[in-house]
Amino acid sequence: MGKKILMKGNEAVAEAAIRAGCKYFFGYPITPQNEIPEYMSRELPKRGGVYLQAEAEFAAANMLYGAAGSGVRVMTSSSSPGISLMAEGISYMIGAQLPCVIVNMVRGGPGLGNIAPAQSDYMQAVKGMCHGDVHLIVLAPSSVQEAVDLMYDAFDMADLYRNPVLLLGDGMIGQMMEPVEFKESTNKNLPPKTWATTGTRNSPDGKRRIINSLSIEPEDLENLNIEIQKKYKTIVEKEIRYEEYKMSKDLDIIFASYGTTSRIVKYVIKKLEEEGIKAGLIRPITLWPFPEKIFENWAENSKAKFFLTVEMSAGQMIEDVKLSINGKKPVYFYGRTGGMVPEPKEIIDYAKSLLKK
Amino acid sequence: MGKIVYEKSKGLTDVPLHYCPGCLHGVIHKLVAETLVELNVLDRAIGVAPVGCAVFAYKYFNCDMHEAAHGRAPAVATGIKRAVPDSVVFTYQGDGDLASIGTGDIVHVAHRGEKITTIFVNNAIYGMTGGQMAPTTLPGQKTTTSPYGRDPAHCGFPYRVSEMLATIPSTAFIARVAVYDIAHLTKAKAAIKKAFQMQIEGKGFSLVEVLSTCPTNWGLTPVESLKWLKENMEPYYPLGIYKDVSSNEGGN
């Protein structure tokens, strides 16, 4: 580990990506993530890489598609409306089974929304990003340090599973400054990219390569889907990550929260404790695959009266919490939208009002 | 044993082409494939296929290939060329793909001066989807979505891609050619070769627009189609070299 330095989330994410071996960045300016492309445009040319500003987010996604197909470590970053524009290209990369890393520093929506932090793209990230039976691996950091650490894993997971990985932050993670340490690249033993198009003269077997998501025969396309779903099953088995905070069997309340909001919830739990109310938190780190089992286990093995999901949205992750718990406990929701960050007092008051029910 | 006087280009695979009878895609594929072989770059060529009639081009060109989304071939080619700078990258696109949904992509790939080559096949109609109006459809031309003939007062005039792109400083070579007889085939081949040479020499973006036919959706026989192209398309889309940075005569 290196020494601790104070860095803005966006810049730290960019530095982590370069240290993780990312050599290519294609992107388009949008607030609140501009420090990522700015950092990349400054650093990549000095460190043997290429930064290129695309004319639009959809072009950036397709530049990723080209570069990823040629076997290099490549990424882009954007914020909510820009990610919507990238969706088509992301589906092609999933179909062609290509690795890449995408960062979404989420802002308030819908439409042009605003530039304040939000978690209103959860559904887009984990369910409806783009057409087809698709998933991205979705990683949700709750601190700048965690965002940094997850960037290394994001590139490794993308290469290992040949699937795009999405780092889902928000305007808060991107804009705040925190002390961070950068670890050395994990340098995992990953399979060689023998499928990449680099010209037949570079091909290990001399044969040509085709990067493609088109299978005109239904039987062929179904086979591709079966292959992709098999891969997703492995990801569900191996890659689920979460944090349990002050969890025990005799709690009154179990909170569910991720990213920036989970930090507020941790403070709420300490405050409730002072008043003699016992609460814990399950914080998913992978939003897909979702830690279903851990929610199910705690629903079955806890005395908690209910689960309370807290999000900066109108209620999105709560659907996965409910599906996981499957009716075994009541699940309530508290959220703010439009870039409003919930105050601890609002959450505390709501939690206490539920206890009185 | 007899002497081989003609054989299929090594730049093409043995997969049978799916194109309609009388379609000129096969001829244009051949010119591109021969060029890659003659320039000795087939083993470092990476092609990008479009969405449109040439969607299966990745099956036919005997080199590394990517299949792009509709209109996005220049963006995909940009990613490839930046990742593998010593490769020879080309896109092969029709007029719906390049001149409609991909207008922004082609303008910006030209504007950045990407060292890639685009083969732009213009037949003034959407072929694969069944003959709808394209941005390149001529005034008065009937298609399935301009059944009374294209009315410029309603949906504008067709625009000229080569003339427009030639105004962009970072373009190295822009030409419009036809392939309906031997004399024009020879000129078309020379233009395609020049376009690839410009890329190999790092001069900038190059594009060859090839006027083509669509007997199926024009509702004409292959021979009638060639005549229609000469009489109707060529006056609106004049043949010629619109930009050539290697020549003092060719600039605009």
Give pLDDT tens digits for B187-198. 999 999 999 999
The domain boundary, picked from A238, A260, A293, lies at: A238
Angle ∠(A150,A154,A157) on CA atoms, nearest 5? 130
User: Are both A181 and A306 inside the same structural domain?
Assistant: no
Mean pLDDT (whole number) for B58-63: 98
Kindly identify which residue of chain B lies nearest to residue A201, measuring between CA atoms.
Answer: B43
Kindly identify which residue of chain A lies nearest to residue B104, measuring between CA atoms.
Answer: A55
The reply to whether A64 touches chain B by the CB within 8 Å rule is yes
Q: From the list B58, B68, B105, which residue is nearest A210 (CB)? A: B58
User: Are both A157 and A292 inside the same structural domain?
Assistant: no
State both tokens at A219: 């039987």
pLDDT of residue B247: 83
CB contact under 8 A, A58 and B72: yes
CB contact under 8 A, B64 and A64: no
pLDDT of residue A188: 74
pLDDT of residue A8: 98
Angle ∠(A322,A167,A293) on CA atoms, nearest 5? 30
pLDDT of residue A185: 75
pLDDT tens digit string along B150-179? 999 999 999 999 999 999 999 999 999 999
User: Are both A80 and A61 inside the same structural domain?
Assistant: yes
pLDDT of residue A183: 87
User: Are both A69 and A162 inside the same structural domain?
Assistant: yes
Mean pLDDT (whole number) for A145-158: 97
User: Are both A228 and A316 inside the same structural domain?
Assistant: no
pLDDT-based confidence at A1, cuts 50/70/90? low
Q: What is the mean pLDDT of chain B?
A: 96
Residues 6+ apart with CB under 8 A from A333: A308, A309, A310, A311, A315, A318
Q: What is the CATH number of the domain that holds A79?
A: 3.40.50.970
pLDDT-based confidence at B252, cuts 50/70/90? very low
Query: What contacts 24+ positions apart, CB below 8 Å, involve B221-224?
Result: B221/B22, B222/B21, B222/B22
Nearest chain B CA: its distance from A162 CA (Å): 16
CB contact under 8 A, A70 and B79: yes
Give the start-end residues of each E strand in B58-170: 64-67, 88-94, 116-122
Nearest chain A CA: its distance from B78 CA (Å): 6
The reply to whether B55 touches chain A by the CB within 8 Å rule is yes
pLDDT-based confidence at A186, cuts 50/70/90? low
The domain boundary, picked from A213, A238, A263, lies at: A238
CB contact under 8 A, A52 and B82: yes
Mean pLDDT (whole number) for A128-145: 97
Q: From the list B48, B84, B105, which residue is nearest A198 (CB)? A: B84
The domain boundary, picked from A192, A208, A238, lies at: A238
User: Are both A193 and A276 inside the same structural domain?
Assistant: no
- Model ipTM? 0.94
**b/e map of A38-52 (b: 16 or more CB within 10 Å)?**
bbbeebbeeeebbbb
State both tokens at B215: 């007997």
The reply to whether B104 touches chain A by the CB within 8 Å rule is yes
The reply to whether A214 touches chain B by the CB within 8 Å rule is yes
Instruction: Please tell me the CATH code under which domain B25-244 is placed.
Output: 3.40.50.970
A203: pLDDT strictly greater than 90: yes
Structural domains of chain A, count: 2
CB B160 within 8 A of CB B136: no
The reply to whether A25 touches chain B by the CB within 8 Å rule is no
CB A102 within 8 A of CB A75: yes
Find chain A residues with C-beta within 8 A of B64's C-beta. 197-200, 203, 208-210
The reply to whether A207 touches chain B by the CB within 8 Å rule is no
User: Are both A285 and A200 inside the same structural domain?
Assistant: no
CB A309 within 8 A of CB A333: yes
User: Are both A273 and A200 inside the same structural domain?
Assistant: no
Domain locations in chain B as residue ranges: 25-244
Mean pLDDT (whole number) for A249-254: 97
The reply to whether B69 touches chain A by the CB within 8 Å rule is yes
pLDDT of residue B2: 85
Mean pLDDT (whole number) for B223-252: 89
Q: From the list B62, B63, B67, which residue is nearest A211 (CB)? A: B67
Q: From the list A54, A63, A200, which residue is nearest B63 (CB)? A: A200
User: Are both A231 and A140 inside the same structural domain?
Assistant: yes
Nearest chain A CA: its distance from B61 CA (Å): 10
The reply to whether B18 touches chain A by the CB within 8 Å rule is no
Find chain A residues with C-beta within 8 A of B77's C-beta. 66
Mean pLDDT (whole number) for A263-289: 98
Nearest chain A CA: its distance from B58 CA (Å): 7
Nearest chain A CA: its distance from B153 CA (Å): 30
Q: What is the CATH number of the domain that holds A344?
A: 3.40.50.920
Residues pairing with A73 in the sheet: none
B251: pLDDT strictly greater than 50: no
pLDDT-based confidence at A84, cuts 50/70/90? very high
CB contact under 8 A, A211 and B84: no
Domain around A349: 243-355
Mean pLDDT (whole number) for A44-71: 98
pLDDT-based confidence at A128, cuts 50/70/90? confident
pLDDT of residue B248: 57
A189: pLDDT strictly greater than 80: yes
Mean pLDDT (whole number) for A249-263: 97
Nearest C-alpha neighbor of B237 from the set B190, B144, B175: B175
User: Are both A207 and A140 inside the same structural domain?
Assistant: yes
Find chain B residues with C-beta within 8 A of A65's C-beta. 66, 68-69, 72, 75-76, 79
Nearest chain A CA: its distance from B204 CA (Å): 16
CB A57 within 8 A of CB A78: yes
